[in-house]
């Protein structure tokens, strides 16, 4: 029996897609930059079916690429060519919130927005939030250690994961979902698989910690003179605002793109070189505290604050629409953006931001570099327009600049295929040797996400 026939017998005809038209939506990433043909797309319904798929693929030595919501930005969830594409979208089961533990168990295919709504209905919240919330799935968020806008307060995905269920490449199911607050019984497999980008196992269910639900929120959009001033503002906000949960930065060029794409009015009478978005949340209304902190921060050139939900969404839109606005601008110009996600030491942030446009121009003179990011973590999203043909050179130049500043070549999007060849800029030879030994131990035939994390 062919692998496809075995997969059909296991999953049903409707969930093994071989028709090119049906496969197509799975074969290209959201930005249009990464694309490849899958041998077939399989859509298992539960852990047992995932195990059957992996046993079948292992028997034939067929490589597998794993996909959640297909919102990844480093090509880690789309085929390079010829793999079985394992979509976890149907693993959408959400267990009732465990109020005693303050935790919930979710299937890999549960969407972030669904998880948030589920937690909120039980009077709790989920600690991670990001703009792709309506499509990004829990499995992918764990696999890439996604960060987002609330890392300042709650940490990244890694801090939320207290247990996982996963299937190894040979079909073995590992279930560790108890999520005990203290559990000191050897290597922590849940944390090992968190951030492993589908290279070690397929996550099928995860146990996630929940956080208190804040009844009140306030958001400020602040015009500042530059990166250093935004950091000065952040220092005041962190000192004074225990309710601070987000601190973001974008610049005049990015804001102009967003305004054009979303037809938004200017937030202030004047344009400023940089903009910070601050968000506070708590059990009591944080608006007055936020206003006082802004009044005490000399870096503030102008500010607007919103406490009601429509007003907060209006201010967040200037920051959260950047990805879509940049993509639209790239598509209008007949291309796709080159996207890099990096982290630098906080003290190096102003100089790295200042050096980036010139660094890019050195290898792609006609390119436009749009930067934004998570101010508190000094996590920059470097988006380059008009450099599709020079993507490798641009990536190399930016990542070398970041490495020279003692930063990381991947902050929260993962290494994927996009950055695999530059892994050695962030990890030593000794470390990479250990990573490869772990890969070899869990996936000896190298069937899971080949080309992701480790260049082939
Ligand atoms: C964000 O923070 C996301 O906006 C996406 O991580 C970043 O599109 C990007 O480069
Ligand atoms: Zn981000």
Per-residue three-class SS string for 167-213: ECCCCCEEEECCCCCCCCCCCCHHHHHCCCCCCCCEEEEEEEECEEC
Return the residue whose CA atom lies nearest to atom 5 of ligand 1: 323
44 contacts: CB under 8 Å, gap ≥ 6: 10, 11, 15, 50, 52, 53, 86, 88, 90, 91
Q: How far is CA 338 from CA 68, 317, 383, 418, in A?
A: 22, 22, 6, 10
Where does ligand 1 bind, in terms of residues with CB under 6 Å? 73, 131, 322-323, 339, 381, 383
Residue to substitute in 30, 249, 413, 414 for testing ligand 1 pocket (most ligand atoms within 8 angstroms of CB): 413
Average pLDDT, stretch 298-325?
A: 98
pLDDT (average), residues 367-373: 98
Structure tokens at 143: 């696999």
Find the length of the chain: 456
pLDDT tens, 345-356? Answer: 999 999 999 999
Angle between helices 322-332 and 252-262 (to 10 degrees): 80
Mean pLDDT, rounded, for 180-185: 94
Pocket test for ligand 1, best of 33, 69, 71, 130 (most atoms within 8 A of CB): 130
Q: What is the DSSP letter of 420?
A: G
Ligand nearest to the CA of 339: 1
Atom of ligand 1 nearest to the CA of 381: 10
Confidence band for 178, pLDDT divided at 50, 70 and 90: very high
Rounded mean pLDDT of 25-50? 97
pLDDT at 456: 85
H helices within 61-193, ranges in order?
112-121, 138-143, 151-154, 157-160, 189-193
Q: How far apart are CA 363 and CA 418, in angstroms?
A: 18
Q: What percentage of the chain carries pLDDT values higher than 70?
A: 100
Tell me which ligand sits closest to the C-alpha of residue 384: 1
pTM of the model: 0.97
Composition of the chain by helix, strand, coil, percent to 5? 40, 20, 40
Four-CA torsion 145, 415, 131, 282, nearest 10 degrees: 30
How is residue 19 written in tokens? Answer: 């028709």
Stretch 82-92: mean pLDDT: 98
Q: In whole angstroms, what is the distance from residue 14 CA to residue 396 CA?
A: 43
* Token output for 187: 């290597």
Residue 349: left (phi > 0), alpha (psi -120 to 50), or beta? alpha
Residue 43 scores a pLDDT above 90: yes
Question: What is the arithmetic mean of pLDDT over 85-108?
Answer: 98
Q: Which ligand is nearest to the CA of 320?
A: 1
- Distance CA(439)–CA(431), nearest Å, equals 12
If you measure from the C-alpha of residue 8 to the centroid of ligand 2, how many angstroms do you get, rounded to a whole number? Answer: 38
The pLDDT value given to residue 417: 97
Best substitution site from 71, 73, 134 to test ligand 1's pocket, by max atoms within 8 Å of Cβ?
Answer: 73
d(CA 37, CA 197) in angstroms, rounded, equals: 20
Cβ count within 10 A of residue 151 = 25
**Ligand 1 atom nearest 341 alpha carbon:** 10
Residue 47: C-alpha distances to residues 7, 50, 91, 107, 330 (Å) = 14, 5, 8, 9, 39
Find, among 219, 228, 417, 408, the residue nearest to 320 by Cα: 219
Mean pLDDT for 132-150 is 98
How far, in Å, from the CA of 328 to the mean position of ligand 1? 14
**Are residues 140 and 194 in contact, defined by beta-carbon separation less than 8 angstroms?**
no
In this predicted structure, what is the pLDDT of residue 396? 98
Contact 140, 72 (CB under 8 A): yes
The number of C-alpha atoms within 13 Å of 37 and in the hemisphere containing its C-beta is 6
pLDDT digits (tens, 9 = 90+) for 423-455: 999 999 999 999 999 999 999 999 999 999 999
| Whole-number pLDDT of residue 164 | 98
pLDDT digits (tens, 9 = 90+) for 243-273: 999 999 999 999 999 999 999 999 999 999 9
* Whether residue 107 has pLDDT greater than 90: yes
Task: Please give the distance, rounded to the nearest whole angstrom, from the Cα atom of residue 381 to the centre of ligand 1.
Answer: 6
Tokens of 54: 């992996």
- Judged on CB neighbours under 10 Å (0-12, 13-18, 19+), 338 is buried
Question: Whole-number mean pLDDT of the chain?
Answer: 98
pLDDT at 420: 98
Residue 333, pLDDT > 90, answer no
């Amino acid at each position: 029996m062919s692998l496809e026939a075995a997969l059909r017998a296991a999953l049903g005809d409707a969930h093994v897609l071989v028709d090119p038209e049906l496969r197509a939506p799975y074969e290209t990433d959201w930005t249009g930059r990464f694309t490849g043909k899958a041998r077939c797309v399989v859509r298992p319904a539960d852990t047992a079916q995932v195990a059957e798929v992996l046993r079948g693929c292992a028997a034939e030595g067929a490589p597998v690429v794993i996909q959640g919501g297909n919102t990844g930005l480093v090509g880690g969830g789309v085929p390079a060519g010829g793999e079985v594409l394992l979509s976890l979208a149907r693993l959408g089961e959400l267990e009732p919130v465990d109020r005693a533990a303050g935790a919930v168990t979710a299937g890999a295919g549960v969407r972030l927005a669904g998880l948030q709504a589920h937690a909120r209905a039980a009077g709790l919240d989920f600690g991670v939030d990001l703009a792709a919330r309506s499509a990004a799935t829990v499995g992918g968020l764990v696999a890439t250690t996604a960060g987002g806008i609330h890392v300042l307060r709650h940490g990244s995905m890694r801090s939320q994961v207290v247990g996982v269920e996963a299937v190894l490449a040979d079909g073995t199911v590992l279930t560790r979902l108890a999520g005990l607050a203290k559990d000191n019984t050897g290597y922590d497999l849940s944390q090992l698989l968190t951030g492993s980008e589908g290279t070690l196992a397929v996550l099928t269910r995860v146990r996630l910690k929940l956080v208190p639900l804040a009844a009140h929120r306030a958001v400020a959009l602040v015009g500042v003179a530059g990166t250093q001033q935004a950091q000065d503002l952040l220092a005041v906000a962190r000192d004074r605002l225990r309710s601070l949960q987000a601190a973001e930065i974008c610049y005049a060029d990015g804001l102009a793109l967003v305004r054009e794409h979303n037809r938004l009015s200017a937030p202030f009478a004047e344009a400023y070189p940089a903009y910070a978005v601050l968000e506070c949340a708590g059990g009591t209304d944080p608006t007055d505290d936020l206003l006082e902190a802004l009044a005490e921060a000399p870096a503030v050139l102008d500010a607007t604050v919103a406490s009601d939900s429509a007003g907060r969404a209006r201010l967040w839109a200037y920051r959260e629409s950047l990805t879509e606005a940049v993509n639209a601008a790239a598509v209008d110009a007949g291309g796709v953006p080159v996207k890099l996600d990096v982290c630098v030491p906080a003290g190096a942030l102003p100089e790295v931001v200042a050096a980036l446009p010139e660094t890019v121009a050195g290898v792609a003179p006609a390119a436009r570099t749009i930067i934004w990011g998570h101010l508190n973590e000094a996590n920059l999203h470097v988006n380059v327009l008009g450099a599709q043909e020079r993507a490798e050179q641009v990536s190399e130049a930016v990542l070398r600049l970041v490495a020279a500043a003692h930063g990381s070549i991947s902050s929260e999007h993962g290494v994927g295929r996009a950055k695999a060849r530059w892994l050695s800029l962030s990890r030593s030879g000794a470390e990479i040797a250990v990573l490869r030994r772990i890969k070899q131990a869990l996936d000896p035939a190298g069937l899971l996400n080949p080309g992701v994390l480790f260049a082939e």
